[in-house]
Amino acid sequence: MTSGDAYIYCAIIGKEQVEKINFIRRDIDKIQKEIDVIMNDININPTPSPERGKKGLSLMDKQDQKYGEIITVCRNPIAFDLVADDSWHEAYDLCSRYNFIPVTVKTFLNGVKGKLWKDPVIFSKFKDGYCICLPSHYDTDTEFLAKLNVRKGKGHINPKYAH
């Protein structure tokens, strides 16, 4: 991984994690509605407004914080693998549709139409489960993996679920 690269990892997660993430996503959606109001106001009244700018930046910070909460909920995933990077735009675009959105593994695999870095063997074992894509712009894999408490490299299956 080099500076400036963008990667997408996919984590296999449990039903409890999905429920927690969906709760956080409702907060993200509420914040987005407030941001949309500000953006519409900018379109109607483009005159710079320090108050509007400060509020908008504050809302975006809150939203980023919520995305961080989703990553925290995804700690210790059932399985985890790198699925795309920005060097293959088609794969990156398809996988990014699932960023921070929990879906069934079947839905993810059908949606990306085989456009993954490698054969999704690790995911097919959990095809009846749930997954979520997580984008990474970290300078090293180690930083992102540590945030998720994944100690092994790409293609990690949590030993608890390896059977």
Q: Which domain holds residue 21?
A: 17-71
In this structure, is residue 1 part of a structural domain? no
In this structure, is residue 82 part of a structural domain? yes
**Rounded CA gap, 10 and 146, in Å?**
15
Domain tally, the chain: 2
Same-domain status, 84 and 57? no
In this structure, is residue 91 part of a structural domain? yes
Least Cα distance to 134 among 58, 57, 73, 59 occurs for: 73
pLDDT of residue 153: 56
Q: What is the mean pLDDT of the chain?
A: 88
In this structure, is residue 143 part of a structural domain? yes
Same-domain status, 93 and 155? yes
Of 71, 87, 107, the last residue of a domain is 71
pLDDT of residue 8: 92
Same-domain status, 91 and 49? no
Tell me the whole-structure pTM to 2 decimals: 0.86
In this structure, is residue 92 part of a structural domain? yes
Which of the listed ranges 92-101, 117-126, 141-150 does the model predict with the highest average pLDDT? Answer: 92-101
pLDDT for residue 162 is more than 80: no
pLDDT in tens, 25-53: 999 999 999 999 999 999 999 998 999 99
